[in-house]
C-alpha cells in the first residue's frame, strides 16, 4: 500500500484482485468545494482516513471492472455521496458495484471538480476525468487507459482496439501535465507515455501481420510468433489482445477473421 498527495488529489493504492503487475488499484480523492472520489477499489484504512478529512460529495469510477469499483457501495452509504455512472451503463454499474447510480453523465459533463472524457477501448464504459489543479496544471485521472510501465490489456467482448487507440489520441490532444492511472505511479510525462503506448500497439500489430504473412493462421500460432518470448504468466491476456488486434484488422479489410474457428487469413 502507498499513499501520495498533490495539491488537490490524494492517491491511495489499494490491494485488489487485479491482473495488473502492481497487485493494486489506485483510488483518487479530488479535493474541491464538492469533492469527488474516483475508483474506490475496496475498503482501506488510508482511504477512510482521507475521506474523514475530505468527505466526498460525489463518487464514480473510470469503468465497471471489479478491481476499480469494489468499495463503491460501502463508501457511498457511509458518505451519502451522489453516485454517478455513464449514461446507458446504469445496470452494468449496479451489477458490478452493488449500488444503482443516482445520476448519469456524458462526455463533457462536469462532476464536482472534474470533467468527464469518454475513453472507450479497455472497456466500453471507460471514462477519464480532467481536473484543473490549484497550481494551474491540468491532470487527468485516466483509469486503465495508460500505465507508466508496460502496456494495457485490450481483450474480451467489451474491449475494442481501435476505440482504445482513438482514446489515446483523444487523451494526447488534451495535453495534460499529469496523468493519474488506475495502476502504478503518477505519470509526469504524459505525451511520452501516450506515444510509447501507441507505438507499442503499432509494433504488436505489425508483428501479427508478419506472422500471418509467414503462414500463421491459428490464433495460438499467431500469438507465439508475434511475441517470440515466454509469456506463460500472461498468456491469456496476450491471446485476448491479439484477438482484439485481429478484429481491428478484419474491420479494416486487411484480413479475414473467423471468430468461431479462431483463424485469420491475410488479404493483402
* Whether residue 32 is found in the same domain as residue 53: yes
Residue 172 lies in a domain: yes
Main-chain dihedrals φ then ψ at residue 20, nearest 5 degrees: -65, 140
Residue 192 lies in a domain: no
Single out the residue of 20, 22, 34 nearest to residue 65, CA to CA: 20
* Whether residue 8 is found in the same domain as residue 67: yes
pLDDT in tens, 222-242: 999 999 888 888 899 999 999
pLDDT at residue 8 in the model: 87
pLDDT at residue 2 in the model: 45
3-state helix, strand, coil in the chain (%, to 5): 35, 25, 40
Task: State which residues form the domain around 232.
Answer: 197-266
CATH of the domain at 135: 3.60.15.10
Widest Cα–Cα separation across the chain: 61
* Whether residue 166 is found in the same domain as residue 48: yes
pLDDT in tens, 134-167: 999 999 999 999 999 999 989 888 999 999 999 9
pLDDT at 261 exceeding the cut of 50: yes
* Cα–chain center distance at 139: 16
* Whether residue 177 is found in the same domain as residue 73: yes
What total number of domains does the chain contain? Answer: 2
Amino acid at each position: 500500500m502507498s499513499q501520495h498527495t498533490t495539491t488537490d488529489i490524494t492517491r491511495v493504492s489499494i490491494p485488489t484482485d487485479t491482473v495488473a503487475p502492481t497487485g493494486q488499484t489506485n483510488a483518487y480523492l479530488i479535493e474541491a468545494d464538492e469533492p469527488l472520489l474516483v475508483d474506490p477499489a475496496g475498503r482501506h484504512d488510508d482511504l477512510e482516513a482521507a475521506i474523514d478529512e475530505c468527505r466526498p460529495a460525489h463518487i464514480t469510477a473510470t469503468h465497471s471492472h471489479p478491481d476499480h469499483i469494489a468499495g463503491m457501495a460501502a463508501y457511498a452509504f457511509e458518505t451519502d455521496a451522489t453516485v454517478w455512472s455513464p449514461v446507458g451503463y446504469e445496470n452494468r454499474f449496479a451489477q458490478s458495484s452493488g449500488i444503482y447510480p443516482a445520476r448519469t453523465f456524458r462526455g463533457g459533463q462536469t462532476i464536482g471538480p472534474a470533467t468527464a472524457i469518454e475513453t472507450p477501448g479497455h472497456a466500453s464504459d471507460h471514462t477519464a476525468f480532467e481536473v484543473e489543479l490549484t497550481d494551474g496544471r491540468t491532470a487527468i485521472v485516466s483509469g486503465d487507459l495508460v500505465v507508466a510501465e508496460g502496456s494495457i490489456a485490450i481483450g474480451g467482448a467489451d474491449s475494442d482496439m481501435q476505440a482504445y487507440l482513438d482514446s489515446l489520441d483523444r487523451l494526447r490532444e488534451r495535453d495534460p501535465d499529469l496523468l493519474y492511472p488506475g495502476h502504478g505511479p503518477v505519470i509526469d510525462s504524459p505525451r511520452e507515455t501516450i506515444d510509447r503506448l501507441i507505438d507499442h500497439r503499432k509494433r504488436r500489430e505489425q508483428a501479427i501481420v508478419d506472422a500471418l504473412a509467414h503462414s500463421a493462421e491459428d490464433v495460438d500460432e499467431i500469438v507465439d510468433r508475434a511475441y517470440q518470448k515466454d509469456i506463460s504468466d500472461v498468456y491469456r491476456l496476450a491471446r485476448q489482445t491479439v484477438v482484439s488486434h485481429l478484429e481491428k484488422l478484419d474491420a479494416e479489410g486487411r484480413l479475414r477473421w473467423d471468430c468461431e474457428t479462431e483463424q485469420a487469413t491475410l488479404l493483402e
